[in-house]
């Protein structure tokens, strides 16, 4: 099997290459990325291409499957740029896969695509995918779901699979995730459990997480099994203020959401943090996903708990962990984070561009 991966140098892409490298059914991997890495994993050749503008058909020809992971979170102050890459770039990937005669297309959707859900029960894959319209990440993920609906009608011969994961963490992605969400002003030494005496217990603060290698294993299984459609993937337990308090040895304190959102909004408008207040709104609206279909039809079972994945990335923050790929490079923002500051913190993409 020959597999092409877009966004191959990022958090999940590097884990997927690692997992597929030891999969006997996979003979060759093509990693597509805007910037070529120095990393040289087995079975893998690199192809330099931007999904938003470059030719993709030539890279997809001869492939049995395309796994589409390419996505950008920045710049949060320029929603047109993220739309062009994430939505229009995804459309170009899907059209190129069809033109190249690829038989399997696997797309990285997200829990962020879902409509707000009930607080008393988890939702399965039939729950509507109409995320909060004012949150660009959810809006873009939801729109691409509609694009895939149309794509499946036009190309019934292509096996389309959508994975909808929770928050994905690993140690080597820590530096990238700090740049994308916390920004240059957060000192690494400050990310220590004993320095966090309280955890805000906000209305709607419940989320699901998993380790990047477990997400990669779910992608591997979609390539090997004749499945179609969406799959929720997340590890136990569901994370809330209580479990975070236990993890960090901190006390949950009930707070309304508005002061936290107001603080994030002020910091974002002042270009102190890249994460937007709309992302806070989206995070507090997420449903809890039922992962029974992935466990039964894919045979997927995570090897890490959600808390182990969070612990690992927190440890990675302190260690300035990363990998030898442009998005995961711990030095990407500059030795003193000067390149991050030069972008206006969310005004333009963090150099080097966080697109994988």
pLDDT tens digits, one per residue of 125-172: 999 999 999 999 999 999 999 999 999 999 999 999 999 999 999 999
The distance from CA 40 to its chain's CA centroid, rounded to whole angstroms, is 23
The position carrying tokens 């149309």 is 150
Q: Give the per-residue pLDDT at 177.
A: 95
* pLDDT tens per residue across span 295-325: 999 999 999 999 999 999 999 998 999 999 9
DSSP state of 132: -
CA distance 272 to 285: 24
Q: Give the per-residue pLDDT at 186.
A: 85
Burial of 120 (0-12, 13-18, 19+ CB in 10 A): exposed
Model's pTM, two decimal places? Answer: 0.96
Average confidence (pLDDT) per 10 residues, the chain, 356 residues: 98 98 98 96 98 98 98 95 97 98 98 94 98 96 98 98 98 95 84 76 96 98 98 98 92 95 96 95 97 98 98 92 95 88 84 50
Q: 2-342 has which CATH code?
A: 3.40.50.720
CA distance 226 to 242: 39
Share of the chain above pLDDT 70, in %: 96
Residues 6+ apart with CB under 8 A from 156: none
Sheet holding 206-211, edge to edge: 167-169, 206-211, 235-240
Angle between helices 306-319 and 241-248 (to 10 degrees): 50
């Amino acid at each position: 099997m020959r597999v092409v991966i877009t966004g191959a140098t990022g958090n999940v892409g590097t884990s997927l290459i690692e997992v597929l490298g030891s999969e006997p059914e996979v003979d060759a991997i093509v990693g597509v990325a805007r910037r070529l890495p120095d990393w040289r994993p087995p079975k893998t050749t690199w192809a330099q291409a931007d999904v938003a503008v470059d030719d993709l058909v030539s890279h997809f020809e001869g492939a049995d499957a395309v796994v589409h992971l390419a996505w950008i979170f920045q710049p949060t102050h320029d929603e047109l740029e993220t739309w062009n890459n994430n939505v229009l770039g995804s459309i170009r990937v899907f059209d190129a896969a069809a033109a190249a005669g690829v038989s399997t297309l696997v797309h990285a959707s997200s829990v962020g695509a879902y409509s707000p859900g009930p607080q008393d029960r988890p939702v399965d894959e039939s729950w509507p995918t109409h995320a909060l319209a004012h949150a660009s990440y959810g809006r873009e993920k939801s729109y691409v779901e509609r694009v895939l609906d149309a794509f499946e009608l036009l190309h019934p011969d292509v096996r389309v699979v959508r994975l909808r994961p929770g928050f994905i963490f690993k140690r080597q992605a820590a530096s990238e995730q700090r740049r994308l969400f916390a920004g240059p002003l957060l000192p690494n030494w400050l990310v220590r459990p004993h320095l966090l005496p309280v955890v805000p217990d906000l209305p709607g603060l419940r989320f699901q997480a998993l380790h990047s290698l477990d997400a990669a294993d779910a992608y591997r299984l979609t390539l090997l099994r004749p499945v179609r459609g969406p799959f929720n993937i997340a590890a136990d337990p569901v994370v809330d203020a209580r479990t975070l308090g236990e993890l960090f040895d901190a006390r949950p304190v009930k707070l309304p959401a508005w002061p936290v959102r107001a603080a994030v909004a002020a910091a974002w408008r002042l270009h102190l943090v890249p994460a937007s207040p709309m992302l806070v709104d989206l995070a507090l609206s997420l449903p809890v996903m039922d992962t029974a279909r992935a466990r039964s039809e894919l045979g997927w079972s995570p090897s890490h708990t959600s808390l182990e994945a969070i612990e690992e990335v927190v440890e990675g923050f302190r260690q300035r962990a990363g990998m030898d790929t442009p998005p995961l490079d711990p030095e990407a923002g500059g030795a003193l984070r000067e390149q991050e500051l030069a972008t206006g913190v969310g005004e333009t993409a963090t150099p080097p561009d966080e697109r994988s």
